[in-house]
Amino acid sequence: MATLLPVSSCPIPTQPVNLADFKGKRVVLYFYPRDSTPGCIKEACAFRDAYADFQAQNVVVLGISTDDAKSHEKFVNKLNLPFPLLSDEGGKVAETYDSYRLKKFMGKEYVGTSRNTVVVSPDGTIEKIYKKVKPELHAAQLLQDLT
């Protein structure tokens, strides 16, 4: 059974979140690079706009990046996000789910979070992994796949 390492949740950054907290529900863990960047805004807004549909299917949506809780709080408030963003400072959770790796941008290499999504079944097993998703289309694709 997959377990999230303790991370903080916005807006209460001191409270750890674990997959066991959501037993009996399907969980969407969407990993994204950075708060308030163009692709991440598109992806977060797509999940926000489809959130009622995810709830109707008893699906929990959790966004995860290496940004700190203060950054997440600003991002949540700016976009009026109805789901929690988890702070994975150091990328340990993302690394566990093969979403923290060497990346290239404008000829430079660095380690960062890949835009991947993991769907965890109600019994806690990994149901499906989506790699290198398209931010603006991903939430709709997920909803289609989950029905």
| Residues annotated as catalytic (active site), given as ranges | 40
- Hey, what are 20's tokens? 């066991």
- Hey, what are 57's tokens? 């299917």
**Prior bond to 11 cis, omega within 30?**
yes
Question: What does DSSP say about strands 85-87 and 8-9: parallel, antiparallel, or unpaired?
Answer: antiparallel
- 145 CB-near residues (< 8 Å, 6+ apart): 128
Residue 70 to residue 74: CA distance in whole angstroms: 6
